[in-house]
């Protein structure tokens, strides 16, 4: 019995040895150890070659399709140069246009000034003709009865709101040549305000500049000045008077 058990154990041990070292034994692989940095270097080399190959394939595909990067870049450079030239030309033309516009503006301003000067000369010519007629009438009145007259009363807006300028020519004719007139000018200004008529007398009693309306002359004297009216009113007519010793010696009225 003991011998039978020993034989069975021996048979099991033999089978185990055969399974390890026999034909049915597991295969053992022997590999060479490679450091990690060599592996990383090889991986990087493979990736670089792959990327370069992919780029070459991409460029080759674009060339086959009719697209060349170098030619495109050259064309873009030419277009950029052309754009720069066109911008310089546009700036030059813009400067010329501005200069031309300035010249036109200068010429227009000069023309307007000439028109104003012509109008002033025409007005001066009319005034001189009126003065000539006045002096002719004044000379013709020598030796006749003495008297006073107001000639060429003019009233116009002065450009400022509510301000007007007046001009007149006061003259003495006939009588003694050495007789002097001493008095003042009085203005009766008729107004329209909100559909109602009103009148103001200038200078007013409390006007601190009323002495500017005082005049003194032997033959004639030009009188001019300004006056103001209340806001919102419109001057319809102005009557000028020569006052001497509280008596009205001459009048003239102008309608606006």
* pLDDT in the model for residue 240: 93
Pairing of strands 220-228, 234-244: unpaired
pTM above 0.75, yes or no: no
* pLDDT in the model for residue 90: 85
| Greater pLDDT, 215 or 146 | 215
Encode pLDDT of 231-248 as tens digits: 888 899 999 999 988 888
* pLDDT in the model for residue 81: 85
- Average of per-residue pLDDT values in the chain: 78
* pLDDT in the model for residue 85: 87
Would you place residue 172 in the very low, low, confident or very high pLDDT band (cuts 50, 70, 90)?
confident
Would you place residue 187 in the very low, low, confident or very high pLDDT band (cuts 50, 70, 90)?
very high
Residue ranges of domains in the chain: 145-255
Q: Indicate the fold that domain 145-255 takes in CATH.
A: Immunoglobulin-like (2.60.40)
């Amino acid at each position: 019995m003991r011998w039978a058990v020993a034989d069975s154990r021996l048979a099991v041990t033999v089978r185990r040895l055969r399974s390890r070292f026999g034909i049915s034994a597991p295969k053992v692989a022997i590999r060479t150890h490679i450091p990690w940095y060599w592996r990383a270097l090889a991986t990087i080399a493979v990736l670089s070659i792959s990327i370069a190959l992919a780029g070459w394939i991409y460029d080759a595909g674009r060339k086959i399709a009719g697209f060349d990067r170098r030619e495109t870049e050259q064309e873009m450079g030419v277009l950029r140069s052309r754009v720069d030239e066109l911008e310089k030309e546009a700036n030059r033309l813009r400067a010329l246009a501005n200069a031309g516009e300035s010249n036109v503006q200068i010429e227009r301003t000069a023309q307007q000034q000439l028109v104003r000067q012509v109008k002033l000369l025409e007005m001066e010519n009319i005034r001189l003709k009126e003065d000539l007629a006045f002096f002719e009438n004044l000379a013709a009145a020598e030796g006749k009865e003495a008297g006073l007259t107001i000639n060429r009363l003019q009233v116009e807006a002065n450009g400022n709101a509510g301000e007007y300028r007046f001009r007149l020519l006061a003259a003495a004719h006939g009588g003694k040549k050495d007789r002097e007139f001493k008095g003042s000018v009085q203005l009766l200004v008729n107004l329209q305000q909100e559909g109602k008529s009103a009148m103001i007398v200038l200078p007013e009693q409390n006007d601190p500049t009323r002495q500017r309306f005082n005049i003194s002359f032997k033959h004639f004297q030009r009188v001019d000045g300004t006056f103001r009216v209340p806001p919102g009113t419109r001057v319809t007519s102005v009557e000028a008077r020569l006052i001497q010793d509280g008596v009205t010696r001459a009048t003239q009225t102008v309608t606006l």
